[in-house]
Structure 1
Amino acid sequence: MTERRAPLFSLVLACGVSVAGTAMSALAIPWLVLSTTGSAGRTGVVGFAEMAPYVLLQVLAGPVVDRIGAKRGCVLGNAVACVLVCAIPVFHAAGGLSFGVLVVLVAVGGAVRGMADTATGPLVPAMAKLGGVPLERAAGLYSGAGRTGLLLGTPLAGVLVAGAGAPATVLVDGITFGVAAVAVMVLVPAAGSGERPGGFLAGLGEGLRFIGTDRLLLGIVVLVAATNLLDQALLSVLVPVWIRDRLHDPASVGFLGGASNIGALLGVLLAAWIGHRLPRRAIFSLGYLLGGAPPFLAMAAFGTLAPVLVITGLAGLAGGVNNPIIGAVSYERIPEHLQARVLGAIKASAWTGIPFGSLLGGALTAGTGLTLALLACGAAMLVVTLAPFVFPAWRQLDRPGVTSSR
């Protein structure tokens, strides 16, 4: 049984390493731009150039992955990302890293990483089936690897930037994509035929239509996009302003972020452990309700760190339980031949509101003040997270039969 599960564990490990590299680049590449150009505007351009193609390819790469196969797409995307990201410090050392070259490298690198992540999604249920692992557990391990990579990648990048410099940190980041590519190539078997009839636009339209006709998946897409928008308003604007105005201690940003991330990781691992034995709709609904509005309301009510820290950590724990459920439901409801394009579109939809969240938080805070902005966003989050309790489509979260307690 252990040998049958080795491909799933290898895939999960590769995901964690790749996400850690992504977290490192999120700090190291902007720092490199700032240290070489001194321009915050150019730093923002590079960040956009990296993330916009990444999100776009989450939607567009599905038909390509269907054509070449999930494993090949994952390996190819990570391998090309390795080459492109490693080229940044090489060009820098040679004196040829102009701003235009950097933008091109990070844009194409973001695009191929988007393809790699789109290809990874369909491999998870295939490896779970091969190893006889419940889907909630497989989705939880996959999500947990991503959370762990984010949790470790950012502080590791800070240490490396301080000790070895931004170019060396970017080089390490590029190597992580190469490690992920080799791990998947050697240790993960192929899944699916890699041959799908029809053209690119037809395949893309088929995937998007599938989401539109499945009310539960469409509800998940809308819920995740809306809550991410409000979470971004909290993280990018409301938290920094609250800390500046009430705590006057910038170090508290790290404490709150750490509490949320650790809580979310624990929630993911808990769901991976026992999630397949629990009633999905009840856990999912409570997880979103308890993980959504409480941090907003706590910050509106308190002016000290301790209670907000505790509530933020517990909210992260509650919200973390939901990712494995979303993954398991998606794997169950999406036909195997559509998984690459549909899973990519679902993941990309989670990012759609994020750029607007910062604008919303800034506009509300400037127009109404911090407390009213927190209450308004908290009330909106409460209304949004009541959806699974209200709308009949969410009843489909419950399994049609009794699951085993493997």
Structure 2
Amino acid sequence: MTRLVETAGVDGRRLFHRDFSLWYLARSISVAGTAASAVALPLLVYRTSASPTLTAAVVGLEALPYLLFGLFAGAAADRLRRRRMMIVADVCCAVLLATVPVAASLDGLASWHLLLVAFGVGCGFCWFDAAAWGAFVRIVGRAGVTRANSLIWSTEIVLEIAAPAAAGLLAAIADPTLVLAVDAVTYLVSAALLAQIRAGLDAGPTAAHRLRAEIAEGVRHLWRTPVLRTLTAAGFGLNVAAGGVLGLLVVHADQALGLSPEDRRLGLLYAAAAGGSLVAAVVLPRATRWAGQGTVSIGGLVLFVAALVGLAGTSVFTLAVAWWAVWAVARLTVNANGITVRQLLTPDALQGRVNTTGRMLAWGGTPFGALIGGVVADTHGARVAYLVLAVPVVLSLALVLASPVRGLRVTVG
């Protein structure tokens, strides 16, 4: 890893050089397309099946590959050709998504097909993500990391506000399959941009026999640090709820708000959630300096439960929009705060392994939440499902309150 950083021959004072611009544009285009597909796929599944379980399964299947393959993809990105990994992942995602409008035009679209596409796109994201972030420092150089990260995450939040709203509108005016056709094109454009990068993106040779020992070392550090262990477990509980809640957005909109899958306002619910994430991203650094990371985690978990109760109890669209924004503030606050603490309490030599492991375990709750939420919604409705999904968050809150996280305040510098 040291050699990777040292050989990054980029002037950190000039962020928008050719290779970073290509990487940044490719990733931004792909993020916009993925955010649009996150609206279109559940809409299509709900239209074809009318099943809350299958609709929620879309989110679970998109997240499952990271749980299954995350560590292996990260290791592969340090051993294989990263540019080739990204391009192959993009092309595979484009082909998968293109099969949906083709099947629809032949009147052969089925729920199992859509779920297979969701899982396949999740696999593509997992391997693309590992290679992209593995190549990141090679492209921007050590001096450009902070500015590049700020630009990337800010762009992503803006795109996640605009793309779902546009996708919801396009799906209502035309058809959700058109959204997926456009998304397939974005993946091909991303692959074409990546193919033009000239910089070497690959790490130096790594001994294959060390892989298992290196992974185990990262897991041990995570487990033996009480604060990190607690925040990872709390993140798992939170993402159990998040997977179910997000997977049932279309179902909840239909059952509680009276919005059909063709209603143009569905995109506004997704946009409200992205807007809440933007608020949290702006407020979080100040909140942690003022109150400390422990208090921020507790406040975020409390806010998350309140938002779920609010969503379960309202039938008013404007209130639902507000509660979706609050929910997103809470979700990003807890997740981002946990990531920050993990980075601050992990030695440099273990950063990659510990953060990959922590992310995989915390995000690993998403598929389970999608399954639980879908099954409960099938039998008792989306409102009850949201209340049930609040339970793992309440348990996470109790765990945090009974741990050293409660008074945590990590100072930097």
TM-score (norm 1): 0.70
In structure 2, give the amino acid aligned to 1:119.
A
> CA 1:170–1:314 in structure 2 vs 1: closer, same or farther (change >3 Å)?
closer
2:185 is the counterpart of 1:175: yes
In structure 2, give the amino acid aligned to 1:21.
G
Of 208, 217, 232, which aligns to 1:198? 208
In structure 1, give the amino acid aligned to 2:125.
R
Contact kept in structure 2, 1:229 and 1:356, CA below 8 Å: yes
Q: In the TM superposition, what is the alpha-carbon distance from 1:14 to its structure 2 partner? A: 3.6
Q: In the TM superposition, what is the alpha-carbon distance from 1:227 to its structure 2 partner? A: 0.8
Structure 1 gaps of 5+ residues are none
In structure 2, give the amino acid aligned to 1:347.
R
1:20 match: 32
Of 50, 54, 65, which aligns to 2:77? 65
2:335 is the counterpart of 1:320: no
Alignment of 1:387-402 (within 5 A): 387-392=399-404, 398-399=410-411, 401-402=412-413
2:92 is the counterpart of 1:81: yes
Give the secondary structure class of the aligned counterpart of 2:79.
helix
Of 223, 226, 232, which aligns to 1:212? 223
Q: In the TM superposition, what is the alpha-carbon distance from 1:225 to its structure 2 partner? A: 1.7
2:161 is the counterpart of 1:112: no
1:355 match: 367
Contact kept in structure 1, 2:67 and 2:360, CA below 8 Å: yes
Distance 1:101 1:316 in 2: 30
Contact kept in structure 1, 2:234 and 2:393, CA below 8 Å: no
> CA 1:281–1:27 in structure 2 vs 1: closer, same or farther (change >3 Å)?
closer
Q: In the TM superposition, what is the alpha-carbon distance from 1:397 to its structure 2 partner? A: 5.9
Distance 1:277 1:127 in 2: 31
In structure 2, give the amino acid aligned to 1:172.
V
Indicate the larger mover: 215-224 or 373-382.
Answer: 373-382
> CA 1:195–1:115 in structure 2 vs 1: closer, same or farther (change >3 Å)?
same
Distance 1:45 1:318 in 2: 21
In structure 1, give the amino acid aligned to 2:410.
D
In structure 1, give the amino acid aligned to 2:275.
I
Alignment of 1:127-206 (within 5 A): 130-132=142-144, 134=146, 141-160=151-170, 169-183=179-193, 186=196, 193-199=203-209, 201-202=212-213, 204-206=215-217
1:225 match: 236
Deviations for 1:94-140, whole angstroms, at most 9, x for unmatched residues? 98x99899987775554232111123344557777633554xx7655
In structure 2, give the amino acid aligned to 1:24.
A
In structure 2, give the amino acid aligned to 1:263.
G
Q: In the TM superposition, what is the alpha-carbon distance from 1:290 to its structure 2 partner? A: 4.7
Distance 2:97 2:392 in 1: 43
Q: In the TM superposition, what is the alpha-carbon distance from 1:350 to its structure 2 partner? A: 3.7
Q: In the TM superposition, what is the alpha-carbon distance from 1:20 to its structure 2 partner? A: 2.0
1:3 match: 14
Q: In the TM superposition, what is the alpha-carbon distance from 1:281 to its structure 2 partner? A: 0.9
2:358 is the counterpart of 1:346: yes
Distance 1:51 1:19 in 2: 15
Contact kept in structure 1, 2:236 and 2:364, CA below 8 Å: yes
Distance 2:380 2:43 in 1: 33
Distance 1:280 1:126 in 2: 33
1:244 match: 255
Contact kept in structure 1, 2:166 and 2:267, CA below 8 Å: no
Q: In the TM superposition, what is the alpha-carbon distance from 1:263 to its structure 2 partner? A: 1.2
Contact kept in structure 2, 1:78 and 1:113, CA below 8 Å: yes
Q: In the TM superposition, what is the alpha-carbon distance from 1:21 to its structure 2 partner? A: 1.8
In structure 2, give the amino acid aligned to 1:288.
G
> CA 1:13–1:323 in structure 2 vs 1: closer, same or farther (change >3 Å)?
farther
Q: In the TM superposition, what is the alpha-carbon distance from 1:2 to its structure 2 partner? A: 4.7
In structure 2, give the amino acid aligned to 1:392.
P
1:258 match: 271
> CA 1:145–1:207 in structure 2 vs 1: closer, same or farther (change >3 Å)?
farther
In structure 1, give the amino acid aligned to 2:203.
S
Q: In the TM superposition, what is the alpha-carbon distance from 1:3 to its structure 2 partner? A: 0.7
Q: In the TM superposition, what is the alpha-carbon distance from 1:205 to its structure 2 partner? A: 4.3
Contact kept in structure 1, 2:312 and 2:383, CA below 8 Å: yes
Q: In the TM superposition, what is the alpha-carbon distance from 1:344 to its structure 2 partner? A: 4.0
Contact kept in structure 1, 2:276 and 2:327, CA below 8 Å: yes
Contact kept in structure 1, 2:39 and 2:168, CA below 8 Å: yes
Give the number of aligned pairs: 394
> CA 1:186–1:386 in structure 2 vs 1: closer, same or farther (change >3 Å)?
farther
Structure 2 gaps of 5+ residues are 1-11
Distance 1:316 1:393 in 2: 22
Distance 2:117 2:149 in 1: 31
In structure 2, give the amino acid aligned to 1:115.
W
Q: In the TM superposition, what is the alpha-carbon distance from 1:61 to its structure 2 partner? A: 1.0
Indicate the larger mover: 17-26 or 384-393.
Answer: 384-393
Contact kept in structure 2, 1:288 and 1:322, CA below 8 Å: yes
2:309 match: 297
In structure 2, give the amino acid aligned to 1:261.
A
Indicate the larger mover: 367-376 or 221-230.
Answer: 367-376
Deviations for 1:43-89, whole angstroms, at most 9, x for unmatched residues? 879957765445422232121112126x4366345444355347637
Percent identity between the two aligned chains: 23
Contact kept in structure 1, 2:288 and 2:296, CA below 8 Å: no
